[in-house]
Amino acid sequence: MTSSTFRFYSRAHTLGMSDYNREPLQGDIPGVRRRAHLIQMTNLHEEDASFEEWHETLVRVRYSETDKMGVVYHANYLVWFEIGRTEFCRARGFSYRDMEENEDAWLVVAESYCRYKAPAYYDDELLVRTHITELRRRSLRFGYEIVRITDGKIIAEGETGHVVTDGKGRVRSFPTGYTQLLATVPESAIHYTQPPGERVPEEIPPE
């Protein structure tokens, strides 16, 4: 069984959030929509924001992140997704802590998905690419690609869906100004004329 056979998919069904009550598109994995259809906004004009910019975060595989087979344990990819999106926010001038302590706003993970395309090993240097695929008044979605530095291979890709709540778990809107910050393009952002998944080949031919 190849690494591409393994998938991790989870979704919160009990939060009662209207933003996630939707019908899957034809050909989708249930609950996961194709990236091309994800850019939807309610309180921003499309011409005011671009979701083509990716933030890149470098991580190195630690020994404790591997399993008995010597490859990275599957759940750790979701940890790297979290690192990617927190650094994405930090590059735009705010942190999760700012939202939680100053605004009583929490980004709850409502949905997560990861497709594993190739294994990662101890001491591999990996690039976590993160961008926004959907931004709404009370929710947003991030898309991710994880690339191994040594060969440029995309080893995993996925998405997470988030809903904004207060400290008691009640759904609320983003605090004033935060959707604008999320749509900001910092100098550190990476822009691709093609999606990164099309830019890097699936297999590197032998020399």
Indicate which residues carry an active-site annotation: 67
Return the exposure string of 100-134: e unless at least 16 CB atoms fall within 10 Å of the residue's CB, then b: eeebebbbebbbbbbbbbbbbeeebebbbbbbbbb
User: Which DSSP letter does residue 40 get?
Assistant: -
Q: Where are the alpha helices (DSSP H) in 66-177?
A: 76-91, 96-103
d(CA 125, CA 61): 7
Query: 139: which 2 tokens?
Result: 């929710």
**Strand, coil or helix: what is 78?**
helix
d(CA 201, CA 7): 21
How far CA 25 is from CA of 28, 29, 137, in Å, comes to 6, 9, 22
**Strand, coil or helix: what is 68?**
coil
Query: 19: which 2 tokens?
Result: 């933003």
